[in-house]
Amino acid sequence: MNRRLLILVGSVVLFDTLFYAALAPLLPSLSIEFGLDKGGAGLLVGIYAIGSFLGAVPAGWATSRYGPRPTVLVSLAVMAAAGLVFAFAQTIELLYLGRLLQGIGGAASWTAGLAWLVQGTSRERRGEALGIGIGAGVVGAQLGPVLGSVAHLIGRGPAFAATALAAGVIAVVALGTPEPHVDEETSSGSPLALLRSSRYLFALMIFIIPSMAFGVIEVLAPLSLSTLGASAELIGLIFFVAGTFEAVVSPIVGRMTDRIGVLLIVRSGMFLAAILLVALYFPTTVLALALVLISCSAAIGVLWVPAGKLVSLAAERVEVDQGWAFALQNSTWSLAMGAGATAGGALAAFGGDLLAYALAAAACALVGALMFTRRPIAAVRSEP
């Protein structure tokens, strides 16, 4: 594997998830500062995913048309600008705008970054490479709460403004990293062919359901921890530990995916996530809730890598550029995460947290059960 490319793509996706996850420890204080109820807090979390949805298809087109490197450079510029908006926003509308721009930039970074990584990696080691790349994104999710906690202590301005410098450093590395050669004859198919591929559609399903569940968690878990007495710094630490487990698990799952396929991993992850989602409602202490949250995050994180490999293999089979494959993946992820966060907050405000968690758990269990039926089994074989 190309280590320079791994480091670059890992840095790009880390930078994106750093922004996304930084909101968790800030959410309780921002809710108080701007008078947000659970629905408003859910929108603040979910609007990032809405931006990611809006940016995904343009990012796929740009990656296919101009290549992954120019698209990565543009994504870094957008995310740096978004960080500055979020740093100095004094109204809730500007906070929403900053999160929306972060999502747009993040869509381009994941689409172009993962396409770049897949193009530069052999099929036999693709699961491992994606595991490392996604693991780097999880590290960003670890560090995000730390950034949020720092912002809570010193203010959003200096904390988020400093990220613009980091974007510049990553851009310099990207400029010096060559793009792999891609045979145009094997990547000239229409992106609509992906939507006719059962392999690709089942891969998207593996993304969609856990993404919705994670959106629910991102809204309700920080608020529950705060209600139980956890400070913003402690909430950040809990999410940091949860991210550590995900980061450790992802490369391991990637290697397992290369060796044994995806079915066993997906089945186990879906059922375990369903059980732990319901369990998130019951803890009455910060420690108990933290342990369940860490376990649930790891169970959900197991699913990203096999789904990502299925996405790339399905695109190869129908000869569609990898940029389009990951763009459509990001679109569905964005819709699911945004729907999970927004609907989760609204359902919790209407009928309590258990209702939101139970519906997310039921969806995970249903997909796990579907993985035992004939058509999904045929569709998700790891090799074409």
The DSSP code for 282 is S
Task: Determine the pLDDT at residue 292.
Answer: 95
* Cα–Cα distances in angstroms (integers) from residue 10 to residues 18, 130, 133, 246, 299, in the given order: 12, 10, 5, 15, 21
Short-list 304, 260, 327, CA closest to 134? 304
Return the pLDDT at 16: 82
* Residue 284: predicted pLDDT: 92
Range of 70-79, 136-145, 236-245 with top mean pLDDT: 70-79
Cα dist from 301 to 37, 120, 131, 244, 260, whole Å: 28, 24, 10, 11, 18
Report the C-alpha gap between 150 and 18 in whole angstroms: 13
> pLDDT at position 47, please?
85
Q: What is the number of structural domains in the chain? A: 1
> Which residue is it, tokens 């202490």?
285
Q: What is residue 384's predicted lDDT score, i.e. its pLDDT?
A: 45
Residues 50 and 100 sit within 8 Å (Cβ to Cβ): yes
Please give the pLDDT value at position 90.
84
* Rounded Cα–Cα distance for residues 86 and 122 (Å): 39
Alpha helix ranges (H) inside the chain: 3-21, 23-34, 38-66, 68-88, 92-119, 126-154, 156-161, 163-175, 198-227, 232-260, 263-279, 286-301, 304-317, 322-351, 353-370, 374-379
Q: How far apart are CA 133 and CA 59, in angstroms?
A: 18
The pLDDT tens digits of the residues spanning 166-220 come to 888 888 888 888 777 665 545 566 777 888 887 888 888 888 888 889 889 988 9
237 found inside a domain? yes
CA 302, chain centre distance (Å): 12
- Beta-bridged to residue 188, according to DSSP, are 320
User: Does 77 fall in a domain?
Assistant: yes
16-30 burial code (b ≥16 CB/10 A, e <16): bbbbbbbbbbbbbeb
Domain presence at residue 184: no
User: Which pLDDT value is given to residue 128?
Assistant: 76
Rounded Cα gap, residues 325 and 68, in angstroms: 13
Give the pLDDT confidence score for residue 272 in this predicted structure.
93
Structure tokens at 271: 């059922």
pLDDT of residue 356: 92
At 169, which amino acid appears? V
Report pLDDT for 334.
Answer: 66
* Of 333 and 90, the one with more pLDDT: 90
Burial class (CB in 10 A: 0-12, 13-18, 19+), 32: exposed
Task: Give the range of the structural domain holding residue 313, as residue numbers without chain letter.
Answer: 3-179+191-379
| Mean pLDDT, range 72-81, rounded to an integer | 90
CA–CA distance, 203 with 128 (Å, rounded to integer): 17
Statement: residue 348 has pLDDT above 80: yes
Residue 207: which CATH number?
1.20.1250.20
More confident residue, 104 or 337: 104
For 281-317, give one letter per residue: b (16+ CB within 10 A) or e: bebeebeebbbbbbbbbbbbbbbbbbbbbbbbbbbbe
The pTM of this model reads: 0.69
pLDDT, one tens digit per residue, over 267-305 is: 888 999 999 999 999 999 999 999 999 999 888 888 888
Nearest to 136 by CA among 281, 12, 267, 269: 12
Q: Which residue has the higher pLDDT, 236 or 354?
A: 354
Q: CB of 144 within 8 A of CB of 156?
A: no
Q: Which SS3 state, helix, strand or coil, does residue 188 take?
A: strand
Average pLDDT score, the chain: 82
Q: What pLDDT was estimated at residue 326? A: 82
- Structural tokens at position 369: 């059960």
361, pLDDT greater than 90: yes
Question: Is there a contact between 377 and 371 (Cβ–Cβ < 8 Å)?
Answer: yes
Tell me if 186 is assigned to some domain.
no
Residue whose tokens read 């919790």 = 348
CB 325 within 8 A of CB 194: yes
Would residue 384 count as lying in a domain? no
DSSP SS3 for 343:
helix
230: which DSSP letter?
-
**264 vs 126, 205, 231, 338, CA distance in Å?**
18, 16, 38, 28
- What's the alpha-carbon Rg for the chain, to the nearest Å? 19
